[in-house]
Amino acid sequence: MTESRAYKPRHAARPGGEYNYPVPAARPRVKRRRRGLRTALCAILALAVGAGAWLGLIWLPEYRAELAEKIRRAEWAMEEARHPFAYRGLVESAASSQGLDPALVAAVILNESSFDPRAESRLGARGLMQLMPDTAEWVAGKLKEPFDLDALYDPATNIRFGCWFMGYLTRKFGGDPVKVAAGYHAGGGQVEAWLNNPEYTQGGELTVIPFGDTDRYVRKVMNAYEVYQKHYYPEPEVVPADAGA
């Protein structure tokens, strides 16, 4: 018979028979706050590295040129969107019959009605080119046509009458677009009075427009005129004769 071995505990017993088992050391708990902070720092570091790489690309000549071209195209598209050209065929036809630059006619329409054929002012001006009834009736008489007030809402009629009136002002003021625009807004007689006043002229040119609303109107028309010329009637590029040599 095999001798039985008494069980000997590995740890000494405390007085009273309780054994003193070693208590494992507590594992340190990782705080979520520290983990979140570490994640945030990594994200910031990644952004900094990405931003540094992006800024480095900007300084590359080819990237700068590409970026500048994209900005130029965006600005061009925005400018053209602010200067629409509805009824272009009607404008070009009527302008041609009166020897007018269609870009100037478009600039007048933009400032008069924003190309709304049903526009009507509080003073009674109507249609695309905001013709007053008495002015439109006078033009109809010059054209030997019957006058119909409601016809001013018709784009073709309104543009034809408006271009005739602009042609009249153009012949009256020697084709000066500033005087034509001022006359369209304030009346040809008023512009003649300004031209006869040395306070407002210099060398035959209208240098001061004393009516604030007319002055602002003329400035807006001239700015729009330049944009319409640039976008819709650009001058052809002149190529030097020796360019292909």
Active site residues: 112
Cα(142)–Cα(136) distance, rounded to whole angstroms? Answer: 10
Written as one letter, the residue type at 18 is: E
Residue 131 forms beta bridges with which residues?
Answer: 126
With a CB cutoff of 8 Å and minimum separation 6, the contacts of 210 are: 194, 200
Residue 107's CB: how many other CB atoms inside 10 A?
Answer: 24
Written as one letter, the residue type at 223 is: N
Cα(156)–Cα(130) distance, rounded to whole angstroms? Answer: 13
CA 52 and chain centroid, separation: 32
Q: State the DSSP code for 120.
A: B
With a CB cutoff of 8 Å and minimum separation 6, the contacts of 232 are: 85, 88, 102, 103, 106
Q: State the DSSP code for 11.
A: S
Gyration radius (Cα) of the chain, Å: 41
